[in-house]
Amino acid sequence: MTDIRRRASRVAFENQWLRLRVDEIEYADGTPGSYSVIEKTDFTVVLPFQDGGFWLVKEYLNLSVTETMKSWSICETIISFAGLGFALLASLVI
């Protein structure tokens, strides 16, 4: 796991149901980044967002950017064909 240091934190949105916090971070190599954290009484979700995309799969699986894009493209293609197949089957039944 890479060392990540929080440089700043601010509440971007808050209401009676949830709070959205944005943390500006810095990786061990000095690269800046941003974490958006949604806090709710029932749960907390952390979504790393950098360079216009969510890199949760990349960081969790320790993939390169190229490997992430290839695997994501394959997953999206499979999901698209599965959805199309389901829609075609549903149209035969309905």
Structural domain spans, the chain: 1-54, 62-94
pLDDT at 10 over 70: yes
Residue with structure tokens 């360079």?
A: 51
Q: Name the residue with higher pLDDT: 49 or 1.
A: 49
Query: How many Å apart are CA 60 and CA 32, to the nearest integer?
Result: 18
SS3 (DSSP) at 94 = coil
pLDDT at 1 over 50: no
At 9 the pLDDT is: 93
Confirm if 6 and 25 have CB atoms less than 8 A apart: yes
| Residue type (1 letter), 67 | E
Confirm if 47 and 64 have CB atoms less than 8 A apart: no
pLDDT tens digits, one per residue of 32-91: 988 888 787 776 556 666 666 655 555 556 667 677 667 767 777 888 889 898 899 999
Question: Which are the contacts of 31, defined by CB distance < 8 A and separation ≥ 6?
Answer: none
Confidence class of residue 4 from pLDDT cuts 50, 70 and 90? confident
Question: With left for phi above 0 and alpha for psi between -120 and 50, is residue 43 left, alpha or beta?
Answer: beta
